[in-house]
Amino acid sequence: MEILAFLAQGFAVALEPQNLFLALIGCVIGTLIGALPGLGPVNGVALMIPLSFNFGLPATGALILLVSVYYGCMYGGRISSIVLNIPGDEPAMMTTLDGYPMALQGRGGEALGVSAVASFVGAGVATLGLALFAPLLVQFAIRFGPAEYFALFVLAFATIGGVTGGSLIKSFLAAFLGLLLGSVGIDAVSGVPRYTFGLYELYDGIDFIVALVGLFAISECLIYLEDIRGTSRPTLKLGSAIPGVRSAGRCAPTIARGSLIGFVAGVLPGAGAALGSFLAYMLEKRWVGRDGRFGQGDPRGVAAPEAGNNAAAGGALIPMLSLGIPGSGTTAILLALLLSMNITPGPLLFEQQPEMVWGLVAALVIGNFVLLVLNVPLVSLFAKVLQAPGWFLMPMVVMVAFVGVYSLNNSAFDLYMMLGFGVLGYVLRKLEIPTVPVVLGLLLGGQMEFNLRRAMSISGGEWSILWSSGISVGIYLFAVTLIVAGLVYSWVVRGRLR
Amino acid sequence: MSDASQDNAGRVPGVIGDRIAGALLLALAVGAWWLSHDLESGFMQPIGPGEYPRLISLPLAALSLLLILKPGFNQRWPGRAALVRQAQTLLVLACYAGLVKPLGFLPASLAAVILLIRLFGAAWKSALISGVVLTLALYVLFEFVLGMPLPNIPGLDW
Amino acid sequence: MKSVIKNLSGVAATALLGAGLAVSTPSQALPISECIAPADPGGGWDFTCRSVGKLLLDLELVDSPVQVTNMPGGVGAVAFANVESNRADDSDLIVATSTVGVTQIAQGRYPGGADTMRWLGMLGTDVGVILVDDDSEYESLEQLLETVVEDPGALAVAGSSGAGGWDHIRALMLAKEAGMPDDQIGSLRWVQFDGGGPAVTQMMGGHVDVVSTDLGEIAGFIESGDVRVLAVLSEDPLPEPFAELPTAASQGYDVAGYNWRGFYTGGEVSDADYAAMVEDLQTLYDSDEWKEVAQQNGLVPLWRGGEEFDAFVRQSIDEVETISREIGVIQ
């Protein structure tokens, strides 16, 4: 009952007019930033910190503003995924796979509707988990050591085959290319530069935002340039979001599964929202199996990753608050904000500053509602954007991508690299090599390597540590089951076709 | 898994494309392996900085070979006119990347946007008008709404 | 999450400063307008930048908020290289560093030596701790070190620095002091995590046995009782609230391992600007506010500035180099 009292107190704080206003502003700005290619939750939150200082916001107000921006970005990222086939940020990458085909079929409004509801549920599940089970989940998260993390990444890459329904060889080629690109930069363990060719711009590795924007946004423009008259392009019609809300009902089991998977991935520091949405999509695809038309505009292919990435975003707050460990770039910045407000997240936070924690939970709930209410009517606005002629829309996308990437480091080097990735993405698409695994390899490769090396340091070079715990064995068995099931399934299907 | 049933419109056999890609990726894998050899500084570490890239380049090489042996399908490659347009676009963007800092955001972007809109097929008149509108809109969005500083025109603070 | 976080936190601050600043010559009005933290948010260097930046404003030593730029990579090497090649004469820039950074220089892991930069001053020092989990079988440092000397491979030791980094060196200095022969050094298992916090939580999860890191970052876990402190590596007992923690010296192991927090700036900054920055930092150090912030975060206030600090850094580099050579980190 103590919890309820705290929560009521939290809501009282969060519902004060000023805080409600901040939540609203945060949601709008967050959605906007999330939708712009190249700008994601990390940028959004980082941009808001000095702003909140400048307006002299109290700690609670600042936090409410920032988490609204955070959740808003997770909502917004999907918009350009669905409408333009260009993810606004990396957790929204998986949403392109079915969201854009839906838009091509004139069901973009439905896709936006499904994803808004899925995002809402995902974020809601995560908030509930944060409120009720944070201490328990922390106990679960710390059971994940380097070997277990490594197993988790292996699982992610084992499911990568058939990510887009194309050739298995090409999917895995793309994943290993991404992993190799991910090893560029100064090796944090030994301090040795790898594949940097003396360029200090590469010391910190290849920025996956630069790669993501290049591979998706720039390559999309190059595809567009093949046929500027648009003779072979279907005209996009978004339609209404209402069927989306209805089909979200049909996707309810999908959304539930996606939320859970995403939440678990979020609770594990270092795994993050991108892994959450990826696993939610891939596992749902396996789960649905032959009934699904994944990759060709299945609403479940939109619902799963959106529930997953929003649940992961909420889940990531748990290790940040109760262990002081940021699980992602965004939570790292939220952590920095808390520290500068003299709030030290850690094992004692929930006991020492319950009003802060419960105010945050209330803010998350309110932000989530605001976003849902905001997002469903927004669909018609995006429909208008789409009616802009391509010769205006595409240069706009390119310019937003350029400015977004430039603002990361103010470096022209990043822009050249983005162009390089644009050409790479274009060629890969022509070769029918999927680009999603490249980004995933780049994104997860570093952590995968570190955890492998940590595990080996712990064991003193004994490889057996990798499968010495129940958790990691369980994960490997799961991965093997998925692969075998996939092979058997495709064998049966092919057999029938012949 | 469902590729067997996909329609093949716009696809061509990738015998040449896939093999060239396979060869390039194979070369990349071999190069990565080769370059990882002077990465030996594993003070007290069972796995040094070189092992992981080597671990990655092995399957990369194997998969590249498989691709060379078993090429699949490609999307249809663009014609000459499209290639020229793509190259011009990339050139404009590369120049923009290099000039945005020295010239400042407004003039560099204006020029780039107008040229881009032209390349995407609009007439000069609409390119000029939309170029101005888009540049100003971007400037307002990033500089004022989002509060991200853009490069200034030298000598001016805007 | 590599470089995403770079720069971002400070970007908007510059915008808010008004674009005018960017074109005028900042050194006249403001001695310090930007602080580079060569790490992700949340760690020691980030804390140094943020707390000092905030205090500079609170104390009215600067007119507008100090922009904090996160530039992680290579334990500070990326920031060092960046300042060296792009910002060597930037007279409004300070970069956070510490014993950890200087250890990297001593071991030749930065693209330059101490002469590349101008060393401004240090404001305080963190102190090393040796921790085990609260239900560990080890109750005292002596017990722990006996096991380590007997069988150096028995325990997995973790910290936030890479192999051969400062956290690792401090653990090895203790083991050496306890009588571990030099040829056994290679058998001690060292595991690096992204910070002291992650190392401690991994220990709580039972994945590693011992953590060697700085007190400040993990003070919360000591207060909550999740970990047991076997030793703090300071010469004298710490001030409250950590006065009860046993020093290594009090248990018969004469090892101290501090981690001071300070700043450098580019090598081509003029003498006048350098002096102005040192003066600002000293004023900050003398304030009561700094003493309070330091204490809250487990730092012992300690000032060295200007020429004195420069000499101190060079001396530290020599010392760390000697230790590193003895231990075998560098040949």
- The verdict on C183 touching B (C-beta cutoff 8 Å) is no
Question: Cβ C19–B44 below 8 Å, yes or no?
Answer: no
List, for residues A459-475, the tens digit of each pLDDT value.
888 888 998 889 999 99
Neighbours of B, requiring at least 3 CB pairs below 8 Å, are A, C
Boundary residue ending a domain (B46, B75, B104)? B75
CA-to-CA distance for A253 and B148, rounded, in angstroms?
A: 41
The answer on B103 and B55 residing in a single domain is: no
pLDDT number for residue C96:
95
Q: Which of the given ranges, A274-278, B89-93, C35-39, C219-223, has the highest pLDDT on average?
A: B89-93
Could you check whether C3-126+261-327 and C127-251 share the same CATH topology? yes
Question: Cβ B3–A395 below 8 Å, yes or no?
Answer: no
- What is the fold of C3-126+261-327? D-Maltodextrin-Binding Protein; domain 2 (3.40.190)
Q: Is the peptide bond before C241 cis (omega within 30 degrees of 0)?
A: yes
Residue in this structure with the two tokens 């570190």, named with its chain if needed: A450
Q: Tell whether domain C127-251 is in CATH 3.40.30.10.
A: no
The answer on B71 and B9 residing in a single domain is: yes
Which H helix or E strand runs over C266?
Answer: strand C258-266
Identify which of B45, B147, B155 has the shortest CB distance to residue C23: B155
Alpha helices per DSSP H over A95-235: 95-104, 108-141, 146-158, 168-182, 208-213, 219-225
For range A284-297, the mean pLDDT = 79
**Coil, helix or strand at residue A87:** coil
Question: Cβ B47–A452 below 8 Å, yes or no?
Answer: yes
> How many domains, in total, are found in chain B?
2
How many contacts does B have with C, using Cβ atoms within 8 A? 36
Residue C41 pLDDT greater than 80, yes or no: no
User: pLDDT exceeding 70 applies to what percent of chain C?
Assistant: 90
C-chain residue closest to B158, CA distance? C19
The answer on B103 and B123 residing in a single domain is: yes
Which residues in chain A have Cβ-Cβ distances shorter than 8 Å to C4? 40, 42, 207-209, 329, 408
Residue A54 pLDDT greater than 70, yes or no: no
The answer on B38 and B97 residing in a single domain is: no
Residue A281 pLDDT greater than 80, yes or no: yes
pLDDT number for residue A44:
78
Residue B23 pLDDT greater than 90, yes or no: yes
For residues A318 and A186, which has the higher predicted lDDT (pLDDT)?
Answer: A318
pLDDT averaged over every residue in chain B = 85
pLDDT number for residue C268:
92
List, for residues B108-147, the tens digit of each pLDDT value.
999 999 999 999 888 899 899 999 999 999 898 888 877 7
pLDDT number for residue C21:
34
- B49 touches B3 (CB < 8 A): no
Question: For chain C, what are the domain ranges?
Answer: 3-126+261-327, 127-251
For residues C108 and A88, which has the higher predicted lDDT (pLDDT)?
Answer: C108
Residue in this structure with the two tokens 């363990």, named with its chain if needed: A189
The answer on B85 and B71 residing in a single domain is: no
Residue in this structure with the two tokens 């002596």, named with its chain if needed: C142
Question: Cβ B147–C16 below 8 Å, yes or no?
Answer: yes
Question: Cβ A336–C111 below 8 Å, yes or no?
Answer: no
**Coil, helix or strand at residue B45:** coil
Nearest Cα neighbor of B150 from B106, B114, B116, B115 is: B106
Residue C95: DSSP 8-state:
E
Strand ranges for B50-141 from DSSP E: 73-75
The answer on B71 and B7 residing in a single domain is: yes
Nearest Cα neighbor of A425 from A414, A438, A412, A415 is: A438
Identify which of C12, C23, C164 has the shortest CB distance to residue B157: C23
Which 3-state string (H, E, C) describes A275-339? HHHHHHHHHHHHHHHHHCCCCCCCCHHHHHHHHHHHHHHHHCHHHHHHHCCCCCHHHHHHHHHHH
pLDDT averaged over every residue in chain A = 83
A-chain residue closest to B92, CA distance? A419
In a domain, B21, yes or no: yes
Q: Which residues contact A214 (CB under 8 A, 6 or more apart)?
A: A417, A418, A419, A420, A421, A422, A424, A425
**Would the CA dihedral through A371, A376, A380, A383 be positive or negative?**
positive
User: pLDDT exceeding 70 applies to what percent of chain A?
Assistant: 90
- A438 touches A157 (CB < 8 A): no
Residue C314 pLDDT greater than 60, yes or no: yes
- B94 touches A412 (CB < 8 A): no
CA-to-CA distance for C104 and C109, rounded, in angstroms?
A: 5
**Coil, helix or strand at residue A239:** coil
C-chain residue closest to A456, CA distance? C191
The answer on B130 and B113 residing in a single domain is: yes
Predicted complex ipTM: 0.91
pLDDT number for residue B1:
37
- A228 touches B121 (CB < 8 A): yes
For range B34-51, the mean pLDDT = 76
Q: Which of the given ranges, A164-168, A239-243, A263-267, A335-339, has the highest pLDDT on average?
A: A263-267
Minimal CA separation from A344 to chain B, in Å: 28
pLDDT number for residue A3:
72
The answer on B68 and B88 residing in a single domain is: no
Residue A388 pLDDT greater than 80, yes or no: no
Q: Which residues contact C119 (CB under 8 A, 6 or more apart)?
A: C262, C263, C264, C309, C310, C313
The answer on B84 and B30 residing in a single domain is: no
Q: Which residues contact C266 (CB under 8 A, 6 or more apart)?
A: C83, C84, C87, C88, C89, C90, C91, C93, C117, C118
Bridge partners (DSSP) listed for residue C97 = C262
Identify which of C16, C18, C186 has the shortest CB distance to residue B44: C186
List, for residues A59-114, the tens digit of each pLDDT value.
778 888 888 888 888 888 888 888 888 887 778 889 999 998 988 888 888 888 89
A-chain residue closest to C220, CA distance? A346
User: pLDDT exceeding 90 applies to what percent of chain A?
Assistant: 19
The answer on B84 and B57 residing in a single domain is: no
